[in-house]
């Protein structure tokens, strides 16, 4: 507590560099991190629902999410190929 009070009263805060706008709360980077955190919480709740409410074993839940990941990758790859975003390969 005393160190914080000295930090303010001695104006040591003036010597600290401001945070770059790249790391600001509304930046693309922080918004993306927030979205990934929300996705991880959704996955955690989904895993809990599958294992606790439906009685699926843990390995079964992992298999469901693994297959969903493969399916999503396949769909995104097909969309990318259909739009020509793959560089013409």
What pLDDT digit, counting tens, does each position of 7-65 carry? 888 888 888 887 777 777 788 888 999 999 999 999 999 999 999 999 999 999 999 99
Q: Which tokens in the block code for residue 16?
A: 């600290």
Q: Is 7 a member of any domain?
A: no
| Residues contacting 58, CB < 8 A, separation 6+ | 51
pLDDT number for residue 64: 95
- Residue 22 · residue 29 · CB < 8 Å: yes
Q: Is 33 a member of any domain?
A: yes
Give the domain range for residue 66. 27-86
Q: Is 6 a member of any domain?
A: no
Geometric angle at alpha carbon 10, from 6 and 13, rounded to 5°: 90
Report the domain count for the chain.
Answer: 1
HSE (side-chain half, CA atoms, 13 Å) at 34: 9
Q: Is 41 a member of any domain?
A: yes
Q: Write down the pTM of the prediction.
A: 0.58
- Residue 68 · residue 74 · CB < 8 Å: no
Q: Which tokens in the block code for residue 76?
A: 């995104």
């Amino acid at each position: 507590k005393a160190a914080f009070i000295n930090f303010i009263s001695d104006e040591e805060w003036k010597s600290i560099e401001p945070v770059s706008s790249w790391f600001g709360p509304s930046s693309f980077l922080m918004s993306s991190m927030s979205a990934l955190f929300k996705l991880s919480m959704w996955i955690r709740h989904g895993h809990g629902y599958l294992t606790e409410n439906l009685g699926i074993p843990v390995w079964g839940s992992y298999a469901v999410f693994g297959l969903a990941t493969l399916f999503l990758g396949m769909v995104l790859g097909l969309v990318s190929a259909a739009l020509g975003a793959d560089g013409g390969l």
